[in-house]
Amino acid sequence: MSHPPFSPAQARAARLRIGLTPEQVVAAMAQLGVRRPAEAVTAWESGTAPPSETELFALADAVWCPVPTLMAVRPRSLREHRLARRFSAERLALRIGMAASAYLRAETDHHWSGTDVQTVLLADALDLEPDELLRVIGRAGALDGLLRQAVEGRWKQHTTALARLVDAPERSVAEALRTLHQEYARFGERYRGHLVARSDDARLKEIAGERAGWLHALPDRFLRLVGPHPGPPAA
C-alpha cells in the first residue's frame, strides 16, 4: 500500500508548537506501541521518508495534532476520508461488515461495491454528508446526469431512479424535482423573452451564465431540497 498524504512542514510545526524534541516524540509514540528511532522523525520532517499509516496515527497523537492537519489535504478519496477518521483499512472493513480484501479493492479501484447496509455504515463511520458520500463512492456523476435529464425533460419519470440513488422518499424527491424543473423553465422563459424583445448580446450572455451556474450547483440544491440528511445511495 502506498504511503498516506503527509506534510513534513506541518509535522515539524506541530512538534515545535508543543516544544518536543524528536527523541521525546518517539518516546511518546512508543507508549502507543509504535517504536521508531528518533531519526525516523527527522526523516519525516525533512521529507526524505514518509510515515506509514500506523506511524501517521501515532505521530498525530504524540504531537497533539489532528491527522488531517498532518496530511495537509482536504479529504476527497475514500482512503483519505478513512485516514482522516483514523481507521485502518482492516478496522473500517470490520466496522461496516465487509471483507478487508473487498474494502481494499474498493479503495484501490475507486469503485464501491458495498451493499445498502454497508454503505449506510460507511457514511456513519466516516461522518460523510450525502453529497460527499456520492463523490467518495463515485456516484456524483450519475446524480448530476439524472438531475439534468429531469429538469430538462419529463421530471416525473426520473423520480424513482433518483429516490433510489440517494435513498430518499419518492415524495420528497418528487417535490424537489418539481421545484427544480420550474426554476429551470424560468431561465428558458427569460431567455426567449429577451430574444423577442431583441435585447443585446450582453444580456443574453448574462442569462446563459446564470443558467450555467445554476446547473453547476444542481446536485447540492437537489440534496438540500430533499432534506438535510437523506440516506446514502444504494449499491
The per-residue pLDDT for 197 is 58
Residues 26, 6: Cα–Cα separation, whole Å: 18
What mean pLDDT is predicted for residues 125-144? 78
Residues near 171 by beta carbon (within 8 Å), at least 6 away in sequence: none
pLDDT at 114 over 60: yes
- Comparing CA positions, the residue from 189, 212, 133, 128 lying closest to residue 166 is 133
Could you give the CA distance from residue 140 to residue 224 in angstroms, rounded to a whole number? 15
pLDDT band at 230 (very low <50, low <70, confident <90, very high): very low
196 has pLDDT over 70? no
Measure the CA–CA gap between 52 and 2, rounded to whole angstroms.
8
DSSP state of 153: S
pTM (2 d.p.): 0.64
Q: Are 22 and 38 within 8 A, CB to CB?
A: yes
pLDDT tens, residue by residue, 71-83: 998 898 899 999 9
d(CA 176, CA 173): 5
Mean pLDDT of 164-182: 88
